[in-house]
C-alpha cells in the first residue's frame, strides 16, 4: 500500500493518465461485479437443482410407500 502511495505521489497525473487510471478502476469494478453475478447465478441454479432432486426422491419414496400399502391391504 505504501508503494502505491509513493508511486502516485511521484507520478505526474495529466488528464490522460487520470482518465486511464479511472477507466482501469471502473473496468476492474465491472469485471468483479460480473464475476460475482455469475457466481450467484450458479449458486442459485445449484440450489434449484438440489430442490428438484429432493422433490423427485420424495415423490419416489411416496410412490413406493403407496405400493407397499396396496400390497399389504391385498394380502
Q: Is the pLDDT of residue 12 over 80?
A: no
Q: Kindly indicate the confidence band of residue 10, based on its pLDDT and cuts at 50, 70 and 90.
A: low
74 pLDDT more than 70: yes
Whole-prediction pTM: 0.60
State pLDDT tens for residues 13-72: 678 888 888 999 999 999 999 999 999 999 999 999 999 999 999 999 999 999 999 999
Q: How far is CA 23 from CA 1, 17, 35, 75, in A?
A: 20, 10, 18, 78
| Residue whose entry in the numeric block shows the C-alpha cell 471502473 | 26
> Which residue is it, cell 405400493?
67
Amino acid at each position: 500500500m505504501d508503494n502505491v502511495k509513493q508511486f502516485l505521489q511521484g507520478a505526474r497525473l495529466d488528464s490522460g493518465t487520470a482518465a486511464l487510471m479511472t477507466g482501469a478502476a471502473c473496468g476492474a469494478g465491472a469485471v468483479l461485479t460480473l464475476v460475482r453475478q455469475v457466481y450467484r447465478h450458479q449458486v442459485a441454479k445449484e440450489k434449484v437443482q438440489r430442490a428438484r432432486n429432493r422433490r423427485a426422491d420424495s415423490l419416489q419414496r411416496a410412490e413406493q410407500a403407496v405400493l407397499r400399502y396396496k400390497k399389504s391391504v391385498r394380502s
